[in-house]
Structure 1
Amino acid sequence: MKHILKFRNKNVSPKIYLLFAITFFMLSCDLEEEVISFRTDSNFYANQEELNRGVIATYSGLYEVLAVEWSVTEQRSDNTFTDPDASPESNFQNFTLDRFQVETNNTLNQEYYAACYKAIALANRIIANLDVAADENLRNQYEGEAKFIRALLHFNLTRLYGSIIISDQIVIGEEGQQLARQAQTEVYDFIIQDLLDAVSLLPESYDASDFGRATSIAARTILGKVYLTAPEKDVEAAITQLEYVRDQSDRDLVSSYDLLFDENNEVNEEVIFSVRYETGLVGLGSIFPNLFAPVRSTGSILGVFGDGDGRNIPSQDMSDAYETDDVRKASSMADGFTIENGDGPEDDEFRLDKYVLKYNPASASAVEDGPVDFPVTRYADVLLMLSEAYVDARGIMEALTELNKVRVRAGLAPLTESDTPSTFAFRLALEQERRVEFAFENHRLFDLLRTGRAMTVLNTHFSTEFAYNDPDNPDRGAGPISSFQLLLPIPQREIDLNPNLAQNIGY
């Protein structure tokens, strides 16, 4: 397990690194009381310093979540697929997720579900022990951070599984077997309240040494998306939160898209909340360069040390989605790579294997130890969500203004009203813009679900992408899918442990 907060040596004292080491040890033991100590939950944290370690441990829980989130989000969109050269049997878990044929005992599905609730449990532990913090400002901050993480994970869970268990307190032993799923309207009410609390409790910014902690600006940004996603969508409430971020915060687009994923420029004005990685420290590095690099590419991919696992492969349609002058493609993916087989270029071999390179550093010296942070949300998301809200509330012209800020940064000409003559045409243009702006950042499936376009887009993906229509490999086909498959099944292990949990229809 890795740690969420990344600090540079110039900002951090040796005591902080000791704190990291202690937290890492705690997490490696899964925070089981009998391993860490013999204290009960009622007195687990004895003082403010220990509570802060618990907050850091809660952030660290996001590493385990992100390690598999791509497989239940991006891979289940039209952006990527699993290795088409691997047999279905050799990569069964990813193969079935990719094709929406996931079974209730899929291990990746189970890992994601469990990782989310584990991090939520850590957040609940913080909230239950706030009284040990002597400093009121820090007490408020810790509560806001815990509620932000708790809300974010409930938001992801309900979008993927539908009605879910609302986890708002410490649960011990058999108490967990009494819990039941609650309606999405109740889940969204809970998420909204947690985020409203976080907005009021958190500061808008921190010193550089605390960069990576959740802010009230991050809470407002996620809250805006929640309002746009909830069953009872509230466009005006979303606009209120997102306009505040645009007009009252110090957030802005960075000048160049490529700078967003430069490990030397990660503390920048566009990042609103990210999961932070640090190379060279045990357990703090990113796994994504190796995970997403092509198989048998050792030494041939910039920023990847060792071989790749060939996961999350960009689709042909994803590659074709970029306009000719769009600078974002070169920063996000590659259509192939060169293997140097001899002494000169004439001996080189070019392989047409697409791969994600958004998280690759300039150089690498260890396996699964990348330094590039993973953005959960950034300022471009604020602008494009405002565009989505404006088209309903204020018309196409105002919506185009926000969308074009993002397009122009990408080196593209702004769209005009003649390019989007109807609301439907505008929404398709916005869908396209979000796709290429946030490619491989786990947004695409959630966007399609929010706009009601998932069935149409995914069934087109399955009917046109060669990976699913190879005449030499008919066993690798997919689709069309049914609406029930848009939700993941509740993992069978969870149902076995808790008979009160009902399975999603169709599984």
Structure 2
Amino acid sequence: MKTLRYIIITLASVLLLWNCEDFLDFRQEGTLPTTGIDYTKSENIFLSVSAAYAKLRNWGAHVFPYIGAFEIASDNADKGSTPEDNPEMRDIDNLTFQPTNGLINSLWTGYYDIVSGANYAIHQMPLFVQNLQNKPDRDYAIQCQGEAKAIRAYAYFNLTRLFGRVPIVDTVLSSEQLASLSQASTNELYAFIEKDLEEAIAVLPDGYTKEWGGRISKYTAMAIKAKVHLYQSEWDSVASLTDKIIASGRFRLLDNFREVFSMDGENSKESLFEIQSSTLGKSSGDAAYLEYGYVQGPRGNSPANMQGWGFCTPSQNLIDFYSARGEIIRPATTLLYRGTKTPEGDSIKMSCTNPVYNGKVYTPSSQNRWVYNGYGFDHNIRVIRYSDILLMYAEALVQGATVPLTCGLSADNAVNMVRNRAGLPSISGATLQDIWDERRAELAMEEDRYFDLVRTNQAATALASKGFVVGKHEHYPIPAAQMQLNPNLTQNNGY
């Protein structure tokens, strides 16, 4: 069971400072009053960083719009729920979305909300360094600034994948300045992201004690950076970073695939980055949970704490893909069928609206203790797992990386570690398609698939039935609401 409490408890005094809705409002958060913060007290250092972590639970960034843009739009998932429920999500599923789509606007505001929180924390830390007397305290403030930079880099990585070109905001600006910003190019954004991550890696610790599990470590920042380079086909950098993570010996694949997605498996040796969600052991009232699991829970199930909205349901395409590969272990966890009973003893009733649900967000009834619904409120989002590191490493080697390595694994070794855990036989001479297929099988329903198809140039074929248009659907449209607020923004191709 999860023990993490500090990240989400210490934010209470800071969270009240933030309340944002649109492009201009959330950027103004950088001007938050600092009255009452004593920069001579080391116990105050983590407050603003904790609030930046809390921003990761933003609805737009990591709940409903997130599952739509990163997974439902792909061939892994369907919209789910009922046919008439949420036309905007239906448009994302069908790739018929327009700049006026509110869910796409929520992605923009959600990730910039994270940027705002991170910027605030980043600019607070020098004030502590100036006022603290003890060097260990000053060093801790610099470390915390590194955490905030990694959070900002992660938010910008998703903004870049989603929209291609967005403004860079790294300081406090007036409303007039904000409304006059132009978009940075994709190359400029990646350079900005890499700089943040390089500076974070230089100051972050290798890991934390158990009670601080879930905080961003040096290896978290390295994993994010490896993925940033993956999307730029910079194979030496991908190989070097993933090699260091593997050679550290700090991570491993859990023996049981199902355990990875259980509450007991949260912040495990397989995890490099998770978004933390918790009811804090409460049954009602305010808590630091997100509804990522709830919006994907079985629709129409009972009891009340075993049901959700039923969105993001595994597609028949994914089911057929698993079947053709002879997969048993991974689909047993990934696919949660109605009319079945889980190994933990919960019934998914035949009365449920959809035939199958996302089993990776399943949480047993005994752990859903919120008095009203509450399905999956304690379920963390697995953002980067060790299996992803192994598969990125393998892909870099097959793509021709020549950088010196120390972990001792070949591409085949790395792929087969993932395959063998899934009960599949080893292969030799792994091809790019082997690795890409392994990514799909391993990371299905984890918000990786859509942009994996885009970056590997498979989207036009895999999403042909949805009408994927090359030169258009690689990115989402710049939201119309943001273009109204800032006339200097230019629309992406095809919208």
* TM-score (norm: length of structure 1): 0.83
Alignment match, 2:405 = none
Quote the offset at 1:73 in angstroms: 0.8
Q: Which has the higher contact order (CA 8 A, sep 6+)?
A: 2
Alignment match, 2:295 = 291
**TM alignment of 1:308-347, pairs within 5 A:** 308-322=308-322, 323-337=325-339
Mean Cα deviation higher: 164-173 or 284-293: 284-293
1:404-429 Cα offsets, whole Å, 9 max, x none, are 11000111111123xx5xxxxx1221
Alignment match, 1:403 = 415
Distance 1:40 1:384, change over 3 A: closer
Quote the offset at 1:297 in angstroms: 2.2
Alignment match, 1:125 = 120
Instruction: Provide the C-alpha distance between the structure 2 equivalents of 1:160 and 1:493, rounded to a whole number of angstroms.
Output: 16
Q: In the alignment, is residue 226 of structure 1 matched against residue 228 of structure 2?
A: yes
8 Å CA contact 1:273–1:376 kept in 2: the answer is yes
Quote the offset at 1:480 in angstroms: 5.0
- Identify unmatched segments of 5+ residues in structure 2: 342-346, 403-408
- Residue 288 of structure 1: SS of its match in structure 2? coil
Distance 1:184 1:295, change over 3 A: same
Mean Cα deviation higher: 54-63 or 132-141: 132-141
Instruction: Provide the C-alpha distance between the structure 1 equivalents of 2:16 and 2:66, rounded to a whole number of angstroms.
Output: 24
Alignment match, 1:370 = 377
Q: In the alignment, is residue 379 of structure 1 matched against residue 389 of structure 2?
A: no
Instruction: Provide the C-alpha distance between the structure 2 equivalents of 1:174 and 1:167, rounded to a whole number of angstroms.
Output: 14
8 Å CA contact 2:82–2:353 kept in 1: the answer is no
Q: In the alignment, is residue 62 of structure 1 matched against residue 53 of structure 2?
A: no
Q: Structure 1: which amino acid aligns with 2:319?
A: S
Mean Cα deviation higher: 284-293 or 348-357: 348-357
- Residue 313 of structure 1: SS of its match in structure 2? strand
Q: Structure 1: which amino acid aligns with 2:312?
A: N
Mean Cα deviation higher: 260-269 or 99-108: 260-269
Alignment match, 1:501 = 489
Aligned residues: 455
Q: Aligned residues: percent identity? A: 28
Instruction: Provide the C-alpha distance between the structure 2 equivalents of 1:152 and 1:370, rounded to a whole number of angstroms.
Output: 23
Instruction: Provide the C-alpha distance between the structure 1 equivalents of 2:118 and 2:487, rounded to a whole number of angstroms.
Output: 25
Distance 1:448 1:406, change over 3 A: same
Q: In the alignment, is residue 22 of structure 1 matched against residue 24 of structure 2?
A: no
Instruction: Provide the C-alpha distance between the structure 1 equivalents of 2:192 and 2:9, rounded to a whole number of angstroms.
Output: 36
- Residue 305 of structure 2: SS of its match in structure 1? coil
Instruction: Provide the C-alpha distance between the structure 2 equivalents of 1:53 and 1:156, rounded to a whole number of angstroms.
Output: 25
1:169-200 Cα offsets, whole Å, 9 max, x none, are 12232220111101111111111111111110
1:231-286 Cα offsets, whole Å, 9 max, x none, are xx321122111100000241111111111112123232111110111133433234
Q: Structure 2: which amino acid aligns with 1:441?
A: E
8 Å CA contact 1:337–1:351 kept in 2: the answer is no
- Residue 157 of structure 2: SS of its match in structure 1? helix
Quote the offset at 1:125 in angstroms: 1.1
Instruction: Provide the C-alpha distance between the structure 1 equivalents of 2:54 and 2:352, rounded to a whole number of angstroms.
Output: 39
8 Å CA contact 2:31–2:172 kept in 1: the answer is no
Quote the offset at 1:293 in angstroms: 2.5
Q: Structure 1: which amino acid aligns with 2:446?
A: E
* TM-score (norm: length of structure 2): 0.85
Alignment match, 1:428 = 433
Q: Structure 2: which amino acid aligns with 1:223?
A: K
- Identify unmatched segments of 5+ residues in structure 1: 1-5, 340-344, 421-425, 463-477
Instruction: Provide the C-alpha distance between the structure 1 equivalents of 2:473 and 2:418, rounded to a whole number of angstroms.
Output: 33
Q: CA RMSD in A?
A: 2.9
Instruction: Provide the C-alpha distance between the structure 2 equivalents of 1:226 and 1:488, rounded to a whole number of angstroms.
Output: 19
Alignment match, 1:74 = 71
1:40-72 Cα offsets, whole Å, 9 max, x none, are 547465424444111011011111111131111
Alignment match, 1:139 = 141
Mean Cα deviation higher: 256-265 or 489-498: 256-265
Mean Cα deviation higher: 39-48 or 427-436: 39-48
1:185-244 Cα offsets, whole Å, 9 max, x none, are 1111111111111110111101111111111101111111111212xx321122111100
Alignment match, 1:168 = 170
